[in-house]
């Protein structure tokens, strides 16, 4: 296996990179810079809030209490949980520095960047290296793509799994590349690619169900498409059986959890789908008008982060390129339309989660959408006028996105409403330094989402790192004379913060107070 891999890499170097040095020099620079803007100052700027604290506490229990898990984070639908693979994926990185969330975040940023590299490869295989480069540049430096790539959350790995899923499907569609293998009766191609499809769909369901759940009908339509266009790529019975077992294996932890807890997941699923009517007519005014605008805003924002430019002009140019290119690359365009279009139809029917659909639900479609847009521009590159249009687009794109990316990674942590890991750790460490002479003390925290999972974890991590099991004297119960009161600003609901602080005004006195950006920490003495 090592020799085969070494031979493939040597062949790729000799036949591809050496013959196209400029392309790969630019690609290497793009990917390096893409990773840089996703990991730079993670220690300061990581968004560590409710979900991140909740996940970190679960992983802490795995390493320190020996508690494995069969389910992952909760979905937007009450009572439905993702699979646990996300937790196991990032858990090893929480062992670094005693539990720092920085290293899991860096790892996820690396996976997101790897997804961009795969997207380049697909664009090259579908049309040209220029198409792949355009897609890589957009995905690397789009402000909202950078934000998503810096997110320590379960949807982030789906950048890579969605790209690998699309690649496997493309290899099945691309009859020209695979004609010899299919003609020779080889089953290895179909087996490998269909196993990849099954595995990527199953694993993606562990990351973001709102994206991946629509992969299932999309793959069904893809199967029908292959039946009509390329029957030799269809799986035989053994491939179907093996792929089905692979897919089922990805769901096995939830199945076991469901059986051990009196069918709770299945009952919740049945309640959400049938009793709460999570799917309905797509032709209501809400579904049709608002969701159509929502999809347009989601996908165009990944290219143009504001309305300061005529988005429609460049999308029209890309559409014109796609129409002109359809005769040359019909399989590529058809595959991307299936990959993106079938899930979008499903979202029009979806009415669950109180009718709410959030931007991150589309994470599994960001890269394919960018690739489809890039295919149109890639065709325009073939003539002088088209090259002028593409170069103009790239200049406009970078002028709009790069300043936002630069401001993001250069931001300070001391703004009046700023709250990220940098000033969160400043506040937490201030408590332990101030309480170093105390035997025991309490900590109480207010955050706008009410449940302070983030600080529960940060205090636990830092206390364990400093003092081990003793936690430096930090206790929950009983009440101690000294209590450290930490609260974040809550501009939307200042009355909630006021009511929370009012509990301390009559029976405690402030002895010391510090502010770290949008975080206030007080040492109070009970009377």
What DSSP state is assigned to residue 3?
Answer: H
- Please work out, in degrees rounded to the nearest 5, the angle formed at the alpha carbon of residue 508 by the alpha carbons of 502 and 511: 115
Domain final position from 352, 376, 407: 407
Residue where a domain stops, chosen among 385, 407, 429: 407
Eight-class DSSP state of 381: T
Q: Are 203 and 231 in contact (CB under 8 A)?
A: no
Residue 421's Cβ-side half-sphere holds a number of Cα atoms within 13 Å equal to 22
Beta bridge partners of 512: 523
Query: How wide is the angle at C-alpha 19 spanned by C-alphas 18 and 21, nearest 5°?
Result: 65
Ordered alpha helix ranges (H), 361-420: 363-380, 384-410
The answer to whether residue 213 is domain-embedded is yes
Q: Is the dihedral of CA 420, 422, 424, 427 positive or negative?
A: negative
Paired with 135 in beta bridges are none
Residues 117 and 249 in one domain: yes
The whole-angstrom separation of Cα 219 and Cα 448 is: 41
271 and 131, same structural domain?
Answer: yes
Residue count of the chain = 527
Would you say 168 and 197 are in contact if contact means Cβ atoms under 8 Å apart?
Answer: yes
Instruction: Report d(CA 375, CA 371) in Å as an integer.
Output: 6
At 374 the pLDDT is 93
Residue 522 DSSP SS3: strand
Residue 246 to residue 148: CA distance in whole angstroms: 29
Q: What's the Rg (C-alpha) of the chain?
A: 26
Model's pTM, two decimal places? 0.92
Q: What is the 3-state secondary structure (H, E, C) of 181-240?
A: HHHCCCCHHHHHHHHHHHHHHHHHHHHCHHHHCCHHHHHHHHHHHHHHHCHHHCCCHHHH
Q: Which of 289, 276, 268, 283 is nearest to 349 (CA)?
A: 283
Asked whether residue 318 falls in the same domain as residue 346, the answer is yes
> Is residue 198 a part of any domain in this protein?
yes
Same domain? For 403 and 425 the reply is no
Cβ proximity of 61 and 87 under 8 Å: no
Predicted confidence at residue 80, as pLDDT, reads 74
Q: How many CA atoms lie within 13 A of 111 on its CB side?
A: 25
Distance between CA 66 and CA 520 in Å, rounded? 35
Structural domain including 428 reads: 421-526
Same domain, 152 and 289: yes
Q: Which of 355, 379, 407 is the last residue of a domain?
A: 407
Task: Give the CA angle between residues 43, 45, 46 to the nearest 5°.
Answer: 75
Tokens 């220690």 — which residue? 43
State the Cα–Cα distance between residues 298 and 363, nearest whole angstrom. Answer: 10
Please provide residue 83's backbone torsions phi and psi, each rounded to the nearest 5 degrees: -75, 170
Residue 397 in any domain: the answer is: yes
Residues 402 and 449 in one domain: no
Please, what's the b/e burial string for 145-157 (b: 16 or more CB within 10 A of its CB; e: otherwise)? bbebbbbbbbbbb
In a domain, 416, yes or no: no
Could you give the count of Cα atoms lying within 13 Å of 349 in the half-sphere of its Cβ?
Answer: 8
* pLDDT value for 278: 62
Based on the fold, state whether residues 378 and 471 are members of the same structural domain: no
498 located within any domain: yes
Residues 378, 441, single domain; the answer is no
Cβ atoms of residues 345 and 279 within 8 Å: no
Return the pLDDT at 283. 60
- 169 occurs within a structural domain: yes
User: Based on the domain organization, do 258 and 128 belong to the same domain?
Assistant: yes
In a domain, 414, yes or no: no
β-bridge partners, 516? 519
Shared domain for 179 and 270, answered yes or no, is yes
Q: What is the mean pLDDT of each run of 10 residues along the chain (527 residues)?
A: 66 84 95 98 96 96 91 76 93 94 98 98 95 97 97 96 97 69 53 93 91 91 93 90 94 89 75 62 62 85 79 75 79 94 84 71 93 90 89 92 95 93 97 95 93 96 94 94 96 93 92 96 95
Cα separation, 77 vs 42, in Å, equals 30
Question: Are residues 451 and 379 located together in one domain of the fold?
Answer: no
Instruction: Name the token pair of 7.
Output: 């031979």
Does 235 lie in the same domain as 204?
A: yes
Residues whose CB is less than 8 angstroms from the CB of residue 68 and which lie 6 or more positions away in sequence, other chains included = 62
Q: Which residues face 414 on adjacent strands?
A: none
Distance CA 70, CA 83 (A): 7
Total structural domains within the chain:
2
pLDDT value at position 185? 46
Listed residue (344, 366, 392, 322) closest to 126, CA to CA: 322
Instruction: State residue 345's pLDDT score.
Output: 87
28, two tokens: 């290497």
Which two three-digit tokens encode residue 251? 């769901």
In a domain, 366, yes or no: yes
Give the contacts of 8 (CB within 8 A, at least 6 positions apart). Answer: none
């Amino acid at each position: 296996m090592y020799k085969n891999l070494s031979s493939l890499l040597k062949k790729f170097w000799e036949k591809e990179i050496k013959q196209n040095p400029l392309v790969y020099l630019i690609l290497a620079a793009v990917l390096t810079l893409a990773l840089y803007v996703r990991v730079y100052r993670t220690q300061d700027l990581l968004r560590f809030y409710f979900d991140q604290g909740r996940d970190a506490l679960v992983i802490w229990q795995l390493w320190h209490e020996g508690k494995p898990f069969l389910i992952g984070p909760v979905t937007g639908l009450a009572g439905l949980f993702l699979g646990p693979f996300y937790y196991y994926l990032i858990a090893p990185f929480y062992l670094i520095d005693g539990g720092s969330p920085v290293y899991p975040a860096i790892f996820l940023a690396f996976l997101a960047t790897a997804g961009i590299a795969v997207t380049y490869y697909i664009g090259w295989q579908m049309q040209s290296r220029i198409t792949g480069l355009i897609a890589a540049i957009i995905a690397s430096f789009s402000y909202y793509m950078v934000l998503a790539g810096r997110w320590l959350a379960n949807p982030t790995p789906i950048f890579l799994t969605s790209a690998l899923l699309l690649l496997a499907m493309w290899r099945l569609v691309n009859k020209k590349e695979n004609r010899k293998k299919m003609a020779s009766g080889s089953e290895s191609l179909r087996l490998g690619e269909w196993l990849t499809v099954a595995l990527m769909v199953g694993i993606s369901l562990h990351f973001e169900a709102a994206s991946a759940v629509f992969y299932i009908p999309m793959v069904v339509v893809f199967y029908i498409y292959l039946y009509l266009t390329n029957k030799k790529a269809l799986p035989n019975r053994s491939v179907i059986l093996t792929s089905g077992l692979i897919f089922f294996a990805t769901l096995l932890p939830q199945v076991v959890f469901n059986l051990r807890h009196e069918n709770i997941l299945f009952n919740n699923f049945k309640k959400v789908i049938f009793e709460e009517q999570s799917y309905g007519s797509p032709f209501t005014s809400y579904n049709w008008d608002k969701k159509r605008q929502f999809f347009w805003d989601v996908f165009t924002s990944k290219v143009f982060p504001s309305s300061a430019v005529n988005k429609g002009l460049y999308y029209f140019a890309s559409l014109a390129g796609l129409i002109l290119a359809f005769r040359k690359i019909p399989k590529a365009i058809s595959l991307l339309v299936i990959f993106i279009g079938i899930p979008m139809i499903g979202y029009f029917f979806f009415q669950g989660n109180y009718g709410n659909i959030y931007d991150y639900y589309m994470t599994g479609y960001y890269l394919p959408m960018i690739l489809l847009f890039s295919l149109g521009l890639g065709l325009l590159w073939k003539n002088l006028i088209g090259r002028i249009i593409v170069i103009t687009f790239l200049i406009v794109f970078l002028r709009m996105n790069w300043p936002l990316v630069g401001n993001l990674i250069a931001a300070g942590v001391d703004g009046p409403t700023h709250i990220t890991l940098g000033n969160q750790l400043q506040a937490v460490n201030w408590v332990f330094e101030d309480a170093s002479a105390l035997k025991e003390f309490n900590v109480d925290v207010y955050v706008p989402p009410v449940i302070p999972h983030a600080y529960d974890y940060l205090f636990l991590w830092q206390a364990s790192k400093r003092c081990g099991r003793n936690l430096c004297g930090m206790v929950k119960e009983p009440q101690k004379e000294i209590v450290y009161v930490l609260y974040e600003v809550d501009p939307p609901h200042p009355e909630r913060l006021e009511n929370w602080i009012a509990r301390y005004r009559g029976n405690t006195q402030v002895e010391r107070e510090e502010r770290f950006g949008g975080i206030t920490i007080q040492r109070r003495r009970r009377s």
